[in-house]
Chains A and B, each alone.
Chain A
Amino acid sequence: MKYEPVIGMEVHVELSTKSKVFCGCSTNFHAPANSNVCPVCLGMPGVLPVINKRAVEMSVMVGLALNCTISRWSKMDRKNYFYPDLAKNYQISQYDLPLCHDGFIDIKANGTSKRIGITRAHLEEDTARNTHTIGGGDSGVDFNRCGVTLLEIVTEPDIRGAEEAFAYLTELKQLLRYLDVSDCNMEEGSLRAEANISIRPTGTESFGTKTEVKNVASFSGIQKAIEFEIARQAKLIDEGGKVVQETRGWDADRGITFSQRAKESAHDYRYFPDPDLVPIVVDEAWEGRIRESLPELPQARRARFESGYGLSAYDAGVLTAEKEMADYYEAVVKQGCAPKQAANWLSVELQALLTEHKQELTASKVTADRLAAMLKLIEDGTISGKIAKEVLLDMFESGKEPKAIVEEKNLVQISDTSAIESAAREVIAANPGPVAEFRSGKEKTFGFLVGQLMKATKGKANPQMANEVLRKVLKETE
């Protein structure tokens, strides 16, 4: 039978507030175990939580960027369960009145655009981190993470496949990075994604039994886990079996999902409003101030890059994928460089070097100013594009100014007609065979002769002039 997958995603994002959500402790991830702690986040007797205003603002920023309605009045609730990573044995979270709800995000997958509904985004505190000795015996709890600001973003079951799930996560991460509210580092756990997956016969409306895939370390891992899970469920049903509602882990090495625990339908968190905290009131004025503070978001920037700079949809997409890249690009263009050329040099040539050397754009010695200076040298004819590649590599390694490199290495382009002309005569004299072929109508051979001319000038001849002059001399000497 043919099946349609039905997927909803839950993403937990650690918001990059300087201090934790209910106390003044630092949120620095790299601090020694149990050093960023205080009586409040350790749940000592007699303490009270006080909400971090910035955490609310950041959550509202995300909510607005996800086209959500922001609750004028919401509250924090206690979610009760016993676990050693939970200092109070309840987590302060939001139950029936989330801060943000009923939004959407547009994604592109399989070449088409699609809208994914956002059910809610709610504020809560992160738990501590439990570690266990290999082979068991000892367990330790690091409370540094306990109380770090967490935003849980839940989608509608609108996602119809692994590729869409990947596109959703990519788009969401891009949005969060643009908002500068999280570093979205999956390895450090600042972004954690879970997928609720079920399948149903294509064309039917009711939902099948879902499984929840958790603890996957990368977006591509989630994509693979979903693909696997869809196939596993389909095979199970085709063979007359039943999908069991459960939480499944992902074994990246073997490429399979595996059962972690059956979902206790009886798990009762006994939510109730936290009497230690007052309601969160976001009035129109505050929401307005937060809305005004929002940076330009990826989709808007993409559109502006296309219309404003005349870039292709592909180039605009590549350049805006990371906010840093887009900012860099605009810094180059602002210096008067041709947009299309700047796009090519950045997204192709420089990007290749960065990828090869596993370097971040922001850490590169090729600053936006230097790249712009180099592009100007091309534009004013001082160097050719070919020479520029050499200059770029030098800049990438040495961090020198492009002008200095050109002077040092004597790379200035030959734009002197007589010099090129004499070189052209030498090339013609030295290559009688190809010249004869060209004259007999084999236009292709012209390229070879240009190449020989460039070689003779050590690549410094102005390519356009080389073309013109060679043609002229070929005609003259016919």
Chain B
Amino acid sequence: MSNDWYKKTAHEIRDAVRAKKVTALEVTESHLARIEDVDGKVKAFTDVWADAARNQAKAVDARIKNGEDVGVLAGVPIGLKDVFCTKRGTTTCCSKILKGYRSPFDGTAVERLQNAGAVFLGKLNMDEFAMGSSTENSSVQITRNPWNLDCVPGGSSGGSAAAIAADECAITLGSDTGGSIRQPAACVGCVGIKPTYGRISRYGLVAFASSLDQIGPFTKDVEDTAIALNVMCGRDPKDSTSADLAVPDFTKSLKADVSGLRIGLPKEYYTDALNAEMREKIMDAVKVLERQGAKVVEVSLPHTDYAIAVYYIICTAEASANLARFDGVRYGYRAPGVGSTQELYTRTKTDGYGPEVRRRIMLGTYVLSSGYYDAYYLKAQKVRSLIRKDFTDAFEKCDVVLTPTSPTAAFKIGEKSANPLEMYLSDIYTISVNLAGIPGLSMPCGLVASGLPAGIQIMAKPFDEETILRVAYTYEQKRGFEMGTPTAVK
């Protein structure tokens, strides 16, 4: 069944399915065929649920036939980062230690998407346990950037990003602990948002760093982001940290109107260290918004320099505890032929984790150890408060902060894998957002000379996703170009 529904946005598909112009099954078949065509090159999927997706689509069609309201994602094909617990298939975080693990439950975000009529196409590649910025740390495969197959798609949600750019899914789900949605979205040229910490329940998201992790969607346009947020946001009694706040209708923010809006440009981000080409792309985007009536103000985020250090202390500390449960006792990989409990733990973890995960567990264990706790973990928590305050102060002067998402466009596969510290710098512009708990969105702002996408990041106050969406929508409507289909998957 050949058709080009795979090129469409989620809202286009939803409207057509609801209006019975196309069946959910036809849409699903279109995407499955697309996956068949391009995923051999892109390698975004680790598991394609073809039959289950068809059945889900048929169920949606049957309900539509019965005149039922199927929901705002009726028949929309969605892919899930392998960090989300699903009853269907396996949930492995692309780690050997969870190979073959089947979760007994669906997480809250997945459940809400399903209740809104979504059709799940399968699981997507990621850096093991979401630790990485290139998806090269997956134990399963390396995902390629659809704009240049020699380049990484960013990470850790590289599979989710690439699947959107390559038109394999209409929406995908990712998780963002230090930039893992926004940085890959920038690398592949799609929209990705990390909502405010607490906006979306983390129940069913395998934890990396609990105080930083947030779920968010990857989409082809800003409207789809608003729709996905409408479905997933809101208090969940299963997550104590989910915010007990009313959720606005985010589609009402889709107005091309930024007159009087104050755009803050933090001077600490626009230094000589910023790649000139990237700066030019960002400034072009700022000009688009200025033409629509926005005003630019310089702001300061004085503790920016400490963000990476603070982040790698806090996230590794939390990870060292979160990952302790993978011990071979109750589920997952168990090293064979061990003689003692101690050996069971050591061998299971040594064999089961990749080098980056082991590195972070050791680092996190170290910073929490007695004698080091005060110097590292406690100090980092204090600086985290200062970083949060930087943003509070900045948002007194502006409504949104605009920065590049990533210091460079996507890099070559293997280019940074030998140097973890250089890899960590890929998230230099995204990490502060997680530390402060504020929302941040990345969207494409053109191609750099090498033909790879550049991304602009829009941040706002906690729980002010509405302003972000309004700015993003305005820019999308007024930027005057389309990103088009990536060259390698045309």
Q: Which 3 A-B pairs have the closest CB atoms?
A: A89-B324, A275-B211, A270-B368
Interface size class of B (residues with CB under 8 A): 35 or more
Stretch of B24-32, B238-246, B249-257, B473-481 on the interface side: B238-246
The answer to whether A297 has its CB under 8 Å from any CB of chain B is: no
Across the interface, do A89 and B203 meet the contact criterion of CB distance under 8 Å? Answer: no
Across the interface, do A272 and B321 meet the contact criterion of CB distance under 8 Å? Answer: yes
CB closest chain-B residue, reference A51: B240
Contacts of A56 in B (CB 8 A): none
* Nearest CB of chain B from residue A30's CB, rounded to whole Å: 23
The answer to whether A3 has its CB under 8 Å from any CB of chain B is: no
Across the interface, do B325 and A39 meet the contact criterion of CB distance under 8 Å? Answer: no
Contacts of A44 in B (CB 8 A): 103-104, 330-331
Chain B residues 84-109 with CB under 8 Å of chain A are: 84-85, 91, 93, 98, 101, 103-105, 107
The distance in angstroms between the C-alpha atoms of A49 and B207, with both chains bound, is 12
- Partner among B202, B318, B370 whose Cβ is within 8 Å of the Cβ of A268: B370
CB closest chain-A residue, reference B210: A275
Contacts of B91 in A (CB 8 A): 45-46
The distance in angstroms between the C-alpha atoms of A84 and B91, with both chains bound, is 23
* Nearest CB of chain A from residue B313's CB, rounded to whole Å: 11
* A–B complex contacts, Cβ < 8 Å, 17 sampled: A45-B98, A45-B207, A45-B326, A46-B203, A46-B204, A80-B320, A82-B345, A84-B341, A89-B325, A89-B327, A270-B369, A272-B377, A275-B211, A275-B241, A275-B318, A276-B207, A278-B240
The answer to whether B237 has its CB under 8 Å from any CB of chain A is: yes
Across the interface, do B238 and A45 meet the contact criterion of CB distance under 8 Å? Answer: no
Across the interface, do B107 and A46 meet the contact criterion of CB distance under 8 Å? Answer: yes
The answer to whether B205 has its CB under 8 Å from any CB of chain A is: yes
| Residues of A bordering B, CB below 8 Å | 39, 42-51, 78, 80, 82, 84, 87-90, 141, 268, 270-272, 274-278
The answer to whether B459 has its CB under 8 Å from any CB of chain A is: no
The distance in angstroms between the C-alpha atoms of A330 and B240, with both chains bound, is 45
CB closest chain-A residue, reference B342: A82
Contacts of B204 in A (CB 8 A): 46
Across the interface, do B103 and A46 meet the contact criterion of CB distance under 8 Å? Answer: yes
The answer to whether B448 has its CB under 8 Å from any CB of chain A is: no
* Nearest CB of chain A from residue B373's CB, rounded to whole Å: 8
Across the interface, do A80 and B368 meet the contact criterion of CB distance under 8 Å? Answer: yes
**Per-position contact with A for B366-408: 1 when CB-CB < 8 Å, else 0?**
0011100100010000000000000000000000000000000
Contacts of A78 in B (CB 8 A): 321
Contacts A45-B91, A45-B98, A272-B317; A50 near B206 (Cβ below 8 A)? no
* Nearest CB of chain B from residue A75's CB, rounded to whole Å: 12
Across the interface, do A88 and B324 meet the contact criterion of CB distance under 8 Å? Answer: yes
Contacts A45-B98, A50-B237; A90 near B203 (Cβ below 8 A)? no
The answer to whether B365 has its CB under 8 Å from any CB of chain A is: yes
The distance in angstroms between the C-alpha atoms of A27 and B53, with both chains bound, is 40
Across the interface, do A48 and B331 meet the contact criterion of CB distance under 8 Å? Answer: no
- Partner among B325, B329, B368 whose Cβ is within 8 Å of the Cβ of A272: B368
Across the interface, do B329 and A141 meet the contact criterion of CB distance under 8 Å? Answer: yes
The distance in angstroms between the C-alpha atoms of A84 and B327, with both chains bound, is 9
Contacts of B320 in A (CB 8 A): 80, 270
The distance in angstroms between the C-alpha atoms of A50 and B202, with both chains bound, is 12
Contacts of A277 in B (CB 8 A): 240-241
Across the interface, do B321 and A90 meet the contact criterion of CB distance under 8 Å? Answer: yes
The distance in angstroms between the C-alpha atoms of A50 and B330, with both chains bound, is 22
**Per-position contact with A for B306-329: 1 when CB-CB < 8 Å, else 0?**
000000000001101100111101
The distance in angstroms between the C-alpha atoms of A88 and B321, with both chains bound, is 8
* Nearest CB of chain A from residue B377's CB, rounded to whole Å: 6
The distance in angstroms between the C-alpha atoms of A159 and B288, with both chains bound, is 76
Across the interface, do A42 and B330 meet the contact criterion of CB distance under 8 Å? Answer: yes
Across the interface, do B207 and A46 meet the contact criterion of CB distance under 8 Å? Answer: yes
- Partner among B85, B321, B329, B369 whose Cβ is within 8 Å of the Cβ of A46: B85
CB closest chain-A residue, reference B105: A39
* Nearest CB of chain B from residue A84's CB, rounded to whole Å: 5
* Nearest CB of chain B from residue A52's CB, rounded to whole Å: 11
CB closest chain-A residue, reference B371: A268
Contacts of B368 in A (CB 8 A): 80, 270-272
**Per-position contact with A for B65-95: 1 when CB-CB < 8 Å, else 0?**
0000000000000000000110000010100
Chain B residues 246-296 with CB under 8 Å of chain A are: none
User: Which one of A48, A84, A268 has the highest number of Cβ atoms from chain B below 10 Å of its Cβ?
Assistant: A48
The distance in angstroms between the C-alpha atoms of A50 and B93, with both chains bound, is 24
User: Which one of A46, A48, A50, A87 has the highest number of Cβ atoms from chain B below 10 Å of its Cβ?
Assistant: A46
Contacts of A141 in B (CB 8 A): 329
- Partner among A47, A50, A271 whose Cβ is within 8 Å of the Cβ of B240: A50
Contacts of A46 in B (CB 8 A): 84-85, 91, 103, 105, 107, 203-207
Contacts of B321 in A (CB 8 A): 78, 80, 88-90, 270, 272
Across the interface, do A43 and B240 meet the contact criterion of CB distance under 8 Å? Answer: no
The distance in angstroms between the C-alpha atoms of A268 and B365, with both chains bound, is 10
Contacts of B365 in A (CB 8 A): 270
Across the interface, do B103 and A48 meet the contact criterion of CB distance under 8 Å? Answer: no
**Per-position contact with A for B198-215: 1 when CB-CB < 8 Å, else 0?**
000011111101110000
The distance in angstroms between the C-alpha atoms of A429 and B211, with both chains bound, is 100
* Nearest CB of chain B from residue A64's CB, rounded to whole Å: 25
- Partner among B241, B317, B325, B369 whose Cβ is within 8 Å of the Cβ of A45: B325
Contacts of B107 in A (CB 8 A): 46
The distance in angstroms between the C-alpha atoms of A90 and B364, with both chains bound, is 14
Across the interface, do B317 and A88 meet the contact criterion of CB distance under 8 Å? Answer: no
* Nearest CB of chain A from residue B361's CB, rounded to whole Å: 11
* Nearest CB of chain B from residue A239's CB, rounded to whole Å: 35
The distance in angstroms between the C-alpha atoms of A153 and B23, with both chains bound, is 63
* Nearest CB of chain B from residue A269's CB, rounded to whole Å: 8
Contacts A50-B237, A278-B240; A87 near B325 (Cβ below 8 A)? yes
Contacts of A87 in B (CB 8 A): 325, 330
Chain B residues 328-365 with CB under 8 Å of chain A are: 329-331, 341, 345, 365
Contacts of B85 in A (CB 8 A): 45-46
Contacts A268-B369, A275-B318, A276-B241; A45 near B210 (Cβ below 8 A)? no
The distance in angstroms between the C-alpha atoms of A84 and B98, with both chains bound, is 18
CB closest chain-A residue, reference B204: A46
Across the interface, do A276 and B210 meet the contact criterion of CB distance under 8 Å? Answer: yes
- Partner among B101, B211, B241, B324 whose Cβ is within 8 Å of the Cβ of A82: B324
Contacts A43-B325, A89-B324, A141-B329; A48 near B240 (Cβ below 8 A)? yes
Across the interface, do B325 and A88 meet the contact criterion of CB distance under 8 Å? Answer: yes
Contacts of A272 in B (CB 8 A): 317-318, 321, 368, 373, 377
- Supplied contacts A45-B326, A87-B325, A272-B321, 15 more A-B pairs, CB within 8 Å: A39-B104, A45-B101, A45-B103, A46-B105, A46-B206, A48-B239, A50-B237, A82-B327, A88-B321, A90-B321, A268-B369, A268-B370, A270-B373, A271-B368, A275-B211
CB closest chain-A residue, reference B83: A46
* Nearest CB of chain A from residue B4's CB, rounded to whole Å: 36
Contacts of B317 in A (CB 8 A): 272
Contacts of A88 in B (CB 8 A): 321, 324-325
The distance in angstroms between the C-alpha atoms of A141 and B93, with both chains bound, is 26
